[in-house]
Structure 1
Amino acid sequence: MTDISQIFAGAQITLPSSAALGLDASTWLIDEEVYDNRIDGVNEHMSSPSPGTMPSGWKAKYLCHDLHNPHTEAFMRVFSQCPDEGTERFPPHIRAQQADPSFEHYEAKARKAFQQGRCRSVPPLLGWGQSVQGEYRPVPGGYITHLVWEKVSGEVLSPEFFWSLSQSRRDLIRDKFRIAYQEILSFGWVPGGQHIGKIIWNEESTDLWISGFHISLRTEKQWSNDVLAHFELIKPPPRGPCDPLLRPRGSWDKWKW
């Protein structure tokens, strides 16, 4: 498989089959890069109740399609280990000492759990691969992870669109969202940075999905209306300049639904 330094529009990425995930081998043609950025080695305080070391790496997202079925559009996320800052020009055998071939980001763990459990509330996984970098790559022996999930038919919700809808339509979206969120809670995972942009809504079919798991969090929490507030699906009442900021707890009578 290919690390981020070798991926460009037109590149082909072949991923293996996985019996555990119910995935056939597949080849994906890269259409365009959505973004890429470097992640310096840190402790995963946001991702784990027991912080552990995360090696330095690159994270990138691409729009792609199935080489043998061009109508199947998808997103691909690639995680690839990179040398620690200041060691990029060290000889390969020195950089290889940083290699962590088995490291797996929380997004990969979450999406694999959803796939194995047949979760219907997140876009389905279409491809997965875990490999290591070759002898002359940035970190010889370092991890590479590929995740491909379906580009579902719908639009990312925005506050402007949501609050332009009728009361009955907003109620429908909130009901669908609650069902979807309760399902992902049953797997013990939620997306980090919770906000309305994590929700994909198909206005015609009324299908709803939750996405945006590039930062994934383990959780044992249960459903509450706090979640609606965090995802901007309800609004706090107006307040004066001296009024305290209302937190999403307690009575919801004065909130806008």
Structure 2
Amino acid sequence: MKVKIQVPPRPASDDPKHFLPGPSDTTLAELHALRTFCETGLEGVPHLLHTKCSPQGPDGPFPDGYISYTVMTKMPGQDLMAAKFWSLSDDEKEEWRQSFLLVLKSIWRVQIAPYDCALRNVLWDPMTRECSIVDFEHYRPAKDPINMHETEEMQRWGLVHRPPPSTWAGEWGLIKEVNAPR
């Protein structure tokens, strides 16, 4: 279960009596993703079981803000950071990477491309020997999973080392690396 207590955002007018209606964009995004996963029967991701989102009222912890409850399936396993992914043998890392790619491509097929890419959001279940991906508050519409650049995606998620940039400006994203390996 995820519980979020939201401070009411103010509109551009800065009039404290006028609040924007509804829960935060991140809450709405995650609810949409979890519903999509449930409706499509997608494996390797949590499914929405129940949700409630309502105004807190004047007596809430953040008066007139929102409180949302999201009940979702719990994914088995341990996140790759806690599982010390980079301490594994090369064969184990490759097995985990391939399992990860299967799940990520299935997520992309339902038009969701998460961008909170981190080892903490990838779980490994030693019983089934499969990965799961969690945390869908931040995503954008996915591209075609067939044309996914697998190495770049695994670099973004921290599953593969990325080559060092040739200049300090490249490291800070000030210039695009023209001759960067693909």
Residue pairs, 1:172-211, within 5 angstroms: 172-211=95-134
Q: Which runs of 4+ in 1 moved over 4 A?
A: 237-242, 244-247, 249-252
How many residue pairs align between the two structures?
Answer: 167
Alignment of 1:51-70 (within 5 A): none
1:212 matched to 2:135? The reply is yes
Q: Which of structures 1 and 2 has the larger relative contact order (alpha carbons within 8 angstroms, sep 6+)?
A: 2
Q: Distance in 1 between matches of 2:23 and 2:137?
A: 18
Alignment of 1:71-90 (within 5 A): 75-78=1-4, 80-82=6-8, 84=10
Corresponding residue of 2:68: 145
Secondary structure in 2 matching 1:106: helix
Tell me the CA shift for residue 174 of structure 1: 1.0
CA distance 1:82–1:176, change in 2 (3 Å):
same
How far does residue 200 in structure 1 lie from its aligned partner after superposition? Answer: 0.7
What letter corresponds to residue 119 of structure 1 in structure 2?
Answer: L
User: In 2 relative to 1, CA 178–113 (structure 1 residues): closer, same or farther, beyond 3 Å?
Assistant: same
SS in 2 for 1:163: helix
2:51 aligns with one of 128, 135, 147: 128
- 1:97-138 CA distances to partner (integer Å, 9 max, x unpaired)? 325147752122222211221121212323212333446541
Q: Which has the higher helix share?
A: 2
Identical aligned residues as a percent = 20
- Paired residue for 2:93, among 150, 170, 185? 170
Alignment of 1:77-116 (within 5 A): 77-78=3-4, 80-82=6-8, 84=10, 95=17, 97-101=18-22, 105-116=28-39
CA distance in 1, matches of 2:82, 2:56: 42
- What stretches of structure 2 of length at least 5 have no aligned partner? none
Q: Rg larger in 1 or in 2? A: 1
Q: Which residue of 2 aligns with 1:227?
A: 153
Q: CA RMSD, aligned part only?
A: 3.5
Structure with the higher strand share, 1 or 2: 1
TM-score w.r.t. structure 2 length?
0.72
- TM normalised by structure 1 equals 0.53
